[in-house]
Structure 1
Amino acid sequence: MPATFHPMSPSAANPNAHPGLARGVASGVAAGALWGLVFLAPQLLPDFGPLQQSVARYLAYGLLALALLAPRWRRATAPLGAPEWRALVVLSLLGNLLYFVLLASAIHAAGGAATALIVGLVPVVVTVAGARRRHAAGPRLRVLAGPCVLSVLGMVLVAIDAVRAGRGLGGDAASSVGGLVCAVGALVSWSAYSVGNARWLERRPDISSRDWSLLTGVATGGLALLLLPLTLWSATTHGSSAWLRLLAISGALALFASVIGNAFWNAASRRLPLSLAGQMIVFETLFALLYGFLWEWRLPGLLELAAIACLLAGVLWCAALHAPGDRPAHAG
């Protein structure tokens, strides 16, 4: 996503000054807690395909966003031009529709193990992208190598444990090449969305994080509406209870994961440098694990506990490297 770094942003003026760091981290944790719910959807809706789940969820997201924006539609859309609307459409496709279809397909075909391993590398990709940006705020890439290695180690431990235990909807994760391709696609899609979204928030500080999130929802709902005939044509016969379950879960995900979760994420993206915001995505995986433990009604195993410790340590280490008063950005 082409975007220009805002030259007058606080991070650009002083790389070591990150006002609102604690609030930004808290917003990132809250977004991860809500996004973690998404990983339960394929298990709760086994009768519906990934495209059907995605269209239902994002139609609900679009309707909710439109209802919230309706009273002040003209004021919210007044600052937008053609470039902003194009960006909203592209970001909606990358971070919502395409990502969720690929994620659900990966879980069904390859199981949760490979999906967690590959998609869970999003924090590393985004952190590296943020650290490599010209004029990027915060520490250089060499300084961030330690937290990134811990994050990768945590994801590897999650995958090893899941493969060993044979968890996931798709059986043997290693044998499902199509599912692995979908997981890689989800990794690329969400990484591109995260970087592009952060740059547009940086480029347009006059548009509030909440309005940008809701406008993304409107764009996503429009895309989902275009796909609705395709999902209805391919729909198999379901009972009324299955359709009600789809509507209820889609509505809940639209409200909590999309409307509220995206608002928290935009707040975090605006307050944190991209290299630190990328690490916040780790909390999506952590909460997805927690919800999975509750769903399966079990305690985490030793490998899972080690993975959680690595992920948390990586995020805390990265946050400490970005704290005001740390070593200069060019050190290391």
Structure 2
Amino acid sequence: MTETILEVRNLTVRFGQIAAVNDVSFTLRRGETLGLVGESGSGKSSASRAILQINRPSSGEVRFCGEDLVSASGASLKALRKRMQMVFQDPRSSLDPRMTVGALLEEPLVIFRIGDRASRKAKVAEMLHLVGLDPAVASRYPHEFSGGQAQRIAIARALILEPELIIADEPVSALDVSIQAQIINLLVKLRAQLNLSMLFIAHDLAVVRHISDRVAVMYLGRVVELADRDRLYGMPAHPYTRALLSAVPVPDPAVEARRRREILSGELPSPGRLPSGCPFRSRCPLHAALGKPEICGKTVPPLLEIAPGQAAACHFAGEVKHQHHQPRMTDEAARA
């Protein structure tokens, strides 16, 4: 996983005076899954839509396999989008209720003029089988399926063009917990089987740990920490990451009894009225513990590497690293 398939540099998305995404940068390697996490309103979905040029970014660069997506348009953008597909949060709203499942899956092939009718029907059957559905369901309509089945259909539609990159925007948050595990396991299997690269967006940290190789944490439109999965969950460097991890229950009484809670004070600031300097300082327990250092109110901390495979946007990330750490969430506990 050394080849970079997606490169995002200084991506900014504005809606009026509000920066939903603010100077976001990261890379995604071929075959890798990058988890993008944060509270509601942190800019995760806005970033994903800007990457695919569904909403055009206000500034910044997005390169897919070296191709500049921001400047692409018309036929060139259409050709690139064939290689990048999205799975949306709510499958029921992303599937046209007037079309059969077969027609929904065949439509991308028709748009890109791939194959004849017989070969397209065969491809539809192949994709339904791949996601664990009977090809016979192709004659049915979306409302006849459960939420989990509908999401499998949405995944099949995203994969039918054989893309290289999948952006999954909270693909399990609208599903029951038992069904969530099935969909996550399906995505893990498909990633390995098809050598997919994936940007996986969620707010459930346990789910993100199970599927991701690296994790980027967003807060109010900015990436505040980016690290390899095990390092982020074992040694989080940003106080916001620590607070998020502390809120995740661990189904192991012995581990749970030893964990320290880090409760954030105050409300999430309005994106239209951010604090000066560090946007997290009004809720930051470290800022208060260190006596409210002046630099936090004056300068926005850049995202800088603090250890191999780990970067954090905090003036005092080293202070966090050298505090005693909570008992780490084990892989077994995260999957439970």
TM exceeding 0.5: no
Structure (1/2) with the larger helix percentage: 1
Q: TM-score, normalised by structure 2?
A: 0.25
- Higher radius of gyration, 1 or 2: 2
The structure carrying a bigger strand percent of its residues is: 2
